[in-house]
Each structure stands twice: as C-alpha cells, then as structure tokens.
Structure 1
Amino acid sequence: MTTTATRTRMPTHLLPGLALAASAVVVSWFMSRLGVSALLVAIVLGVIVGNAVRLPASLEPGIAFASKRLLRAGIVVLGLQLTLGDIWALGPGMIAVVIAVVTIGILSTLWIGRRLGVSPTQTLLIACGFSICGAAAVAAIDGVIDADDDEVVTAVGLVVAFGTAMIGLVPLLAGLVGLSPAQTGLWAGASIHEVAQVVAVGGSLGAAALSAAVIVKLARVLLLAPVMAVISVRRRRQGSTTGKRPPIIPLFVAGFLAMVILRSVGLVPDVVVGAASTVQTVLLSAAMFALGTGARFAAFRKLGAGPFVLAAISTVIVGAVGLTGTLLVGA
C-alpha cells in the first residue's frame, strides 16, 4: 500500500516545477524559430526567473527533476543523431583531426585554467563544452561532476557567445586562408562549439559543405562518451574507498551509446530520428531552464574575468587545431 501511494504521489509532487519548465520550453521553442538557440533562451529565462523572484518550495522537486533526470534523458536521445558509418566515412585522417581537436582542446584548456586560477570544475566544463559539443557537453559533464549552477550557466553562456562569433569569423578567415567551401565545412565542424552553429556555417556554403560540417561535428559529439568515462574513472580514483563510488560509465552515457548503435545498424526509422531531434531540444531546454534558476548574479561576480579569458584562449586553440588538421588532410 505504501509503495503504491508513493508512486501515485510522485508525479503530482513534480508537476508544479515541471509545468514552469515546460512554459520556458514553449518560449524557447518560439524564439528558436527566429534563429536564436533554444538552449540559450531557456537558460537565460531560468537565470532571470531565479533572480527576479523567490521560487516557492513547491517548485523545487520538479525543477530538480528537470535539471538532472530530463538532462540525462536528453543526452541519451542525442545519440540518435549519430551513425558510426557516416563518421567512419570521413576517413582516418579526418577522424584523427577530430580526436586531436578534442584531446588537445581539453588538455590545454585544463592546463591554462589552472594557470589562470579558474576553479577545476569551471575549467572542466569550459574545456569539454568548447572541445566537444557545446551546451550538451557542459550539461553532460555536470551530470558527472555536479558543478555549481552558476558555473554551468557561465560555461553555457560562453559556449553560445564564442560559438556565435565563430559563425561569422570562420567563413571570413577561411576566405583569407584560401579554403574551398568543402574545406571550410570541415573546419567549421572541427572547431565550432554548437551543432546549430555548425549548421549555420555549413548551410551558408552549400549542401556538400553542410554535410561535411555536420558529420565532423557529430564525430566530436561521439567522443563525449569516452571523455566522460575518463572523468568518471579519475573521480573514482580520487574519491574515498569507503562509500559509494561513481560508475565508470554512467547509465545515461551507456544509453547514449546504445542509441548510437541502434541508429547505426538501421533499427531506427528516419521519422523517429527527426522526432528525436525535437525531443532532445525539449528535454535539454527544460534542463537548461532548471539549471538557470539556481544561478545567482552575485555568484557570477565572484567568478571574475578568468572564465572569459579561458574561453577565448580555448576557442583559439580548438580553432587552430581544427584548421591545421583541415589543411593537412581535408579535401
């Protein structure tokens, strides 16, 4: 009887907070039709709401559910956007470039972050967000390390700001260097932070460039799983031998990989893939809003200029590695 009662109460318990998050998703969705990132709109709305009013306690369970469970569900669904065949078709040279971008981007950003005095968690969020797949990577890493909300919001904001700037800079610089549209697409996919930002650049260069850009970008997304596995292993080694230790592969990362495999073997119809893209945006937007409500302006002031300087340097490093690799192997 107690178990049944608990099960019936839980959904009602979560509804107020989830309803607020759903309202933010609707606003974000309409804004995305105007070319603005839905995830950015959602997290900005969360920050505004969280700082403008004192949210009642009745909203907290639903908000917490969105920031954790819906976030992880969104990462799982993201796996349906990837196929191993498309990535393998890039060839060993471009795959090596992708690995170099992610590896050098993360390691160099972590090293520079320590020198700048940026907190380890903030540095890790920026390193992975800028080197792998933007806001989705920031949110996924937060699911493993449990960073402060203001650090997550800062990392997402920096990803959007610097990635958006690259939408104009990459084609401009590509023209100065003499890259072809196809090479520019490869460079965009290897260097720009968000999938949507990569699409914006590739789409302006033609169908071939768009296809190349998106596939290279999704190859970077695929590396989210091994990076998170490495982070989990390090946390296990650094943690206490008593008590609960974090799993080597978090369950939602295993789900992400399972979705990649299902899509790769052709078990997922195209219509489902299209719907999954919408579901992914909805889930991650709700999670971004929930995370935003926990950020406080006072906490941002304490962060200082370090994260912004680190983000700028990380952008340059990732872009430089991507450009070098494209010049060496890109057709």
Structure 2
Amino acid sequence: MLLGVVVCVIIAFIATYLGGLQRVIGGPMIGLFIGMLVANIKPPEGDFKDGTTFAAKKFLNLGIIVTGATLSFKEIVGFGASALPLIIFNIALALGIAYLIGGKLGVSKNTRTLVGGGTSICGGTAIATLSSIIEAKESEMAYALTAIFLFDIIAALGFPYLGRALALSPEQFGVLAGTAINDTSSVVAAADTFDKLLGNLSMSASGLTGGNLAVIVKLTRTTMLVVLAIIFTFITINNKRKSLAVQGINGSSSSIDDGKNESVGKIVLRVFPWFILIFVIMALLNTIGVFPESTAPFIKKASKFLVTTALAGVGFKINFKDLFTKGIKPIMLGGCTWIGLCISSMTYIFFIMTK
C-alpha cells in the first residue's frame, strides 16, 4: 500500500516538473494522464491499488484544504468586482447547460455537476473539490477532467489571437480570458501571449495590461469556489437526509417525517465533508492576512502538488478504452458548456462593456 502512495508522489514530482516547462498544461492534469498511462500498461492490483486509492482520496482532501489558504475574498474588489455579475451568471449558465444537455446525453448527475462546476469556476480544482463533496466516482471525475482539459487548451491557444483579431481592449480581453478559460495556468499563458501580441497597446487606462486584468478576473472567479462548495455541501446533506429518511434510518417502518425529525443531527455529522469547513476557514484566514505574503508561493505550490498526487491516484482507476467510449459524452457535454460560457462572455463584452 505504501508503494502505491509513493508511486503517486513520484508521478506528482514528474508532472510538476513537466508542468513547469510550459504554461498551457498544468501539473495536475499531467499527473492524471501519467497515472492513466502507467495503469494501462500495468493495471494496479492488491495493496498497491489500495495505496493509489488512499492517495486519490486523502491527498485530495488535504490539497483542497491547503488551496483554501490561496484564496482571498479581497480579490473581488476593484476590476474583479465589475466582472462578478457575469461570473455568477456564467456559473448558473454552465450548471444549467450541464444538467439539461447532460440529461439528454445520458451523462450521470455527478458528472454533469463536475463538468458544469469545472467549466464555470476553475477547471481541475473545482472538479476535485466538488467530487469529494458529492462523492463522485473516480471515473466520473476523470471524464469531467478530460472534458475540461480539451477545451481549456483550445481557449488558451486561440483566445489571444481571437482577441487581437477582434481588436479587444485590455479590459475586454481580461474579462474574456478570465471568465471563459478554466485553469489558472492556461489563463496566465493566454494573457502572456495577448500582451506580447499587442505590446504597448495592451496597457489599460488603469496601468494594468490585458494579461494582468485577466488574472484578476480569474482569481475573483476562483474565489467563488468557496460559495459553490458550501452550496453543494448543503445539497448533498439534504439528499442524504431524504434518502435515509425514506429508508427508515431508525431501523423501523416509521414515516418519512419522523425520520427527518429524529435524525437530522446525526445525518449532518455523518455526511458533512468536514474538510470543506477547514477549507472555508483557511480562505477566511488568508483574507484577513493571517498567512504572510512571503508564504504564498509555497502554499500555492503545496496545494497544487497535493492535488497532483491525488489525480495521479485517480488516473490509476481509468481504462483508456472506457475513456474513449464512456467518456465521449462527457467530453461532448464539456464542449457545450464551454461554448455557452464563450457566447455569454462575448455578449457581455460587446453589449454591456461597450455601453
């Protein structure tokens, strides 16, 4: 079992290194695919498999907790606050599209939630966080991550040139990239390309470049992960409460109402994802400045490394054949939600920002 955990950690080191060589594909996604590659060459068995499962679950929760220390509600002040209405609308839009179209495609409810949340918030981090809350299967998580990854790459590579072709201002590109590209590393990559394409023209009236503004909007959007995590925590608790009440959780044939009245407290204690509470506390502590700025780079690297280790463990659960058969519909769904966000953001840019 220890060997399984160690292998996932080694994969995380390799993925982190490869992720640092370029800024389009982040280390966590590379870790997922390396885990999948190794697992399909030699499928894990016995205690080794248990070790990869341990890494997938425990390191994921720990990584989410540490991620909380990288978030700050102060990010929504200023330019980020101006994009907040669009960010909130896009979250509702992405989840709505995911549930509506995903239902027609026959995609599981958990996968729909992960695709919608990942597209609207911050890609892999949102998917990892929500998967722990809603207790999604490793396969559902992998399908959602793959769907997000493909369209994230398209956006990161194409948006800078699209912005140049459409003569977008630095503020307009900041909103487009910040709201319609998923992973933070991809936003940074696209922003850097846009700034290089425009040179001095990329400077806004506030003295920030289009790339700077894109990152500010993205950080504001990432902060909304705290809100989404809390919402789905209560949804999950309520669903569990209803399910257990119907089953007669007291071991009798008591009515649903009796089950609700007598077991709410126990149900909350049993199903509440306590790591989310610590996650929120860490975000609040970071907001009030408990963590020195000098520790921010280390905390960000630590959170990403822990999530990368977890995704390497998730990769050991995925078969390539299943990914390209059962995973096709989630990928199609990811495309639909991403296109929906692109249309929404472009509409905001040309009809709201230009007024």
The two structures have a TM-score, normalised by structure 1, of 0.88
How far is the alpha carbon of 1:273 from its aligned partner? 0.6
Contact 2:99-2:112 within 8 A present in 1 as well: yes
2:307 paired residue number: 284
1:11 paired residue number: none
1:72 paired residue number: 61
2:49 is the counterpart of 1:82: no
Contact 2:5-2:51 within 8 A present in 1 as well: yes
- Given the superposition, is the C-alpha separation of residues 93 and 54 from structure 1 closer, same or farther in structure 2, using an over 3 Å criterion? closer
Residues 74-113 of structure 1 mapped to structure 2, 5 A cutoff:
74-90=63-79, 92-113=81-102
> Which has more radius of gyration?
2
Q: Distance in 2 between matches of 1:92 and 1:269?
A: 24
Residue deviations 1:105-143 (CA, integer Å, cap 9, x gap): 112221111122222122111111111110111111110
Unaligned runs of 5+ in 1: 1-13
Residue deviations 1:76-109 (CA, integer Å, cap 9, x gap): 2222322222212236531111111112111222
Contact 1:229-1:249 within 8 A present in 2 as well: no
Unaligned runs of 5+ in 2: 196-207, 250-262
2:203 is the counterpart of 1:214: no
Contact 1:187-1:213 within 8 A present in 2 as well: yes
Contact 1:183-1:330 within 8 A present in 2 as well: no
Of 117, 130, 135 in structure 2, the residue corresponding to residue 141 of structure 1 is 130
Q: Distance in 2 between matches of 1:305 and 1:159?
A: 12
2:188 is the counterpart of 1:199: yes
Residue deviations 1:35-86 (CA, integer Å, cap 9, x gap): 1421121111111122221324232343222111211111122223222222
Q: Distance in 1 between matches of 2:272 and 2:226?
A: 8
Q: Distance in 1 between matches of 2:12 and 2:354?
A: 39
Contact 2:119-2:338 within 8 A present in 1 as well: yes
**In the comparison of the two structures, how many residue pairs are matched?**
318
Contact 1:97-1:326 within 8 A present in 2 as well: no
1:10 paired residue number: none
Identity of aligned residues (%): 24
Residues 240-255 of structure 1 mapped to structure 2, 5 A cutoff:
240-241=244-245, 242=249, 245=267, 250-255=273-278
Q: Distance in 1 between matches of 2:191 and 2:92?
A: 24
Q: Distance in 1 between matches of 2:324 and 2:194?
A: 40
Q: Distance in 2 between matches of 1:304 and 1:187?
A: 28
Residues 247-286 of structure 1 mapped to structure 2, 5 A cutoff:
250-286=273-309
The two structures have a TM-score, normalised by structure 2, of 0.83
Contact 1:94-1:325 within 8 A present in 2 as well: no
Contact 1:228-1:249 within 8 A present in 2 as well: no
Letter paired with 1:320:
I
- Given the superposition, is the C-alpha separation of residues 177 and 80 from structure 1 closer, same or farther in structure 2, using an over 3 Å criterion? same
Of 178, 182, 190 in structure 1, the residue corresponding to residue 179 of structure 2 is 190
1:121 paired residue number: 110
